[in-house]
Amino acid sequence: MSKREGSLEAPTRHPIAWQKADYYDEAALEHELERVFDICHGCRRCVNLCNAFPTLFDLVDEGSTGELDGVARKDFVKVVDQCYLCDLCFMTKCPYVPPHPWNVDFPHLMLRAKAVKFRKGEVRLRDKVLTSTDALGKLAAIPVVAQTVNAANRNPAARTVLQSVLGVDKRRELPPYAPAKFRGSADARADWPVRDGERAPGKVAIFSTCYINYNEPGIGHDLVAVLAHNEIPVVLAHREACCGMPKLELGDLEGVRRLKDVNIPPLAKLARDGYALLAAVPSCALMFKQELPLMFPDDADVLAVAEAMFDPFEYFMLRHRDGLLKTDFKQALGKVAYHIPCHGRVQNIGQKTRETLQLVPGTEVTTVERCAGHDGTWGVKEEFFEQSMKIGRPVFRQMAQAGPDFISSDCPIAGRHIQQGIRDGGTDLKAEKAHPLTLLRRAYGL
């Protein structure tokens, strides 16, 4: 076997063979875990990325031999449970990713282990509930229910009960549910003339996402307002469900397929009709751009959606390069401490949010490019809360050190997590938390 480290070739990912029977073969999975864990133990380059790697290396170092053969195979699951599929090890650190002959794809190996675990029924009810974002959102979208849930989430006694029953840490600040969801109140205008650019279509279809629909619809309204100011025709996806990322992280791959069957047909029609598809949550955009195409590599509709899907700021900068983005900004933003979420980084689009905000005169953007440690549902769980805050501490510190007027992240959950981490760390920071789309809308004076 070649011992060459690294490659001059770009990383590539193989399709996920989740529909084949041997994908769930436990002996084959254990053999592949041994192979990859041994490579990781010999390298240790990823030790500072997340808690999966320190967990693995501690198991090795504290074992009877100091090598992987001294680790009990039943303990492999401890590593799997620490991985939240951020993909950063594959995209930014590992020198042995394909096309290297060692063919290491750590996140997708963890996904396989999670899928086996899920198929065996070894997941908690809590995890099934937390990943059913549509069901939770639709229930909480009832105004009186939203008010009750939000009040309970702020009540220490109610949170203690929630922790004891479901294992949702009582210290985690949870996002509120909105009494009116985005889809029912979005003022999307489709009557502007279409101006296609060389790099991006001149009309947009928005995939609302569960979080924008049910938790912070204001972010969606900000996106609509910015698009309207730039005279870009906008429609909403005619039908949608959760993008599937929470189910993917749980290992519920059949659940991902069911959601794909709801989302892809209407999105594919929009893509073929020449719309740019925008999702304002990085995890959702990543799901359509990368994960679904790897799960369904022969599905032409999935590939059409992936080709048409954009991060909003990716789209704005393409329009700017085509000379079609308005820069008639009315309000400076001052100092912005901006965090790039992991699922934004692994889209390989560069720092498009920073580039866009820096177009605003009188705006200074300090960029923090490091995992904040929340990751969807992982950071709300009782057993992982402390670890999520520990992972985020360097981000909290760097964001606060900038002395910003605003703290901002493309991932609204990460932004909320960072705000809590800064405050819980004792820093008296007066900065306002605002999503980058909110900042761009303010800069336009809308």
Q: Is the pLDDT of residue 2 over 80?
A: no
pLDDT for the residue 18: 96
Q: Quote the pLDDT of residue 427.
A: 77
Straight-line distance from the first to the last Cα atom of the chain, in angstroms, rounded to the nearest whole number: 60
pLDDT of 202 reads 97
Q: How far is CA 196 from CA 2, 126, 199, 237, 318, in A?
A: 48, 46, 8, 20, 11
- Kindly report, residue by residue over 38-69, the tens digit of the pLDDT: 999 999 998 888 889 999 999 999 998 999 99
> What is the rounded average pLDDT of the residues 124-129?
82
For residue range 91-102, list pLDDT tens digits in order: 888 999 999 999
Residue 84 has pLDDT above 90, yes or no: no
Q: Report DSSP state, residue 19.
A: T
CA distances to 186, 234, 256, 260, 412 from 241, rounded to whole Å, are: 17, 19, 11, 8, 19
pLDDT value of position 342: 87
State yes or no: pLDDT of 137 exceeds 80.
Answer: no
Question: Where is pLDDT greater, at 285 or 426?
Answer: 285
Position 75 pLDDT exceeds 80 = yes
Q: Which tens digit of pLDDT belongs to each residue from 191-204?
A: 999 999 999 999 99
What pLDDT is stored for residue 4 in this prediction?
A: 58
pLDDT of residue 132: 80
pLDDT digits 0-9 by tens, 407-438:
999 999 999 999 999 988 777 788 899 999 99
pTM of the model: 0.92
Instruction: Say how far residue 385 (Cα) sits from the centre of its chain.
Output: 18
Percent of the chain beyond pLDDT 90? 68
Tell me what pLDDT residue 337 has: 96
Out of 107-116, 200-209, 230-239, 419-428, pick the least confident. Answer: 419-428
Q: 3: pLDDT confidence band, cut at 50, 70 and 90?
A: low
Phi, psi of 224 (to 5 degrees): -60, -40
Average pLDDT over residues 335-350: 91
DSSP symbols for 153-174: HT-HHHHHHHHHHH-B-TTSPP
DSSP SS3 for 97? coil
Share of the chain above pLDDT 70, in %: 98
Q: What is the DSSP string of 405-417?
A: SEEEESSHHHHHH
The residue with tokens 């899928």 is 115
Nearest CA to 230 out of 310, 349, 317 is that of: 317
For residue 305, pLDDT over 50 is answered with: yes
Q: Rounded distance, CA 301 to CA 265, Å?
A: 7
- Backbone phi, psi, residue 337, to 5°: -90, 110
pLDDT band, very low/low/confident/very high, at 332 (cuts 50, 70, 90): very high
Judged by average pLDDT, the poorest of 115-129, 142-156, 173-187, 209-223 is 142-156
Give the DSSP H/E element, type plus range, for residue 306. Answer: helix 300-308
Mean pLDDT is lowest, of 233-242, 368-377, 398-407, for 368-377
Q: Specify which of 99-103, 124-128, 275-279, 386-390 reaches the highest per-range mean pLDDT.
A: 275-279
Would you say residue 237 has pLDDT above 50?
A: yes
- 399 vs 429: CA distance, rounded Å: 10
Express each pLDDT in 359-375 by its tens digit.
999 999 999 998 888 88
Mean pLDDT of 213-219: 93
Which tops the pLDDT comparison, 32 or 342?
Answer: 32
C-alpha–C-alpha distance, residues 241 and 264, integer Å = 10
Length of the chain: 446
Residue 370: its pLDDT value, please?
A: 87
Q: Residue 1: what pLDDT?
A: 42
* CA-wise closest residue to 287 among 296, 274, 298: 296
Check pLDDT > 90 for residue 6.
no
Asked if residue 232 has pLDDT above 50, the reply is yes
pLDDT at 14 over 90: yes
Euclidean distance between CA atoms 106 and 392, whole angstroms: 22
At residue 376, the pLDDT reads 78
pLDDT, position 22 = 94
367: which 2 tokens?
Answer: 């960029």
pLDDT by residue (tens digit) across 288-304?
999 999 999 999 999 99
Mean pLDDT score across all residues of the chain: 91
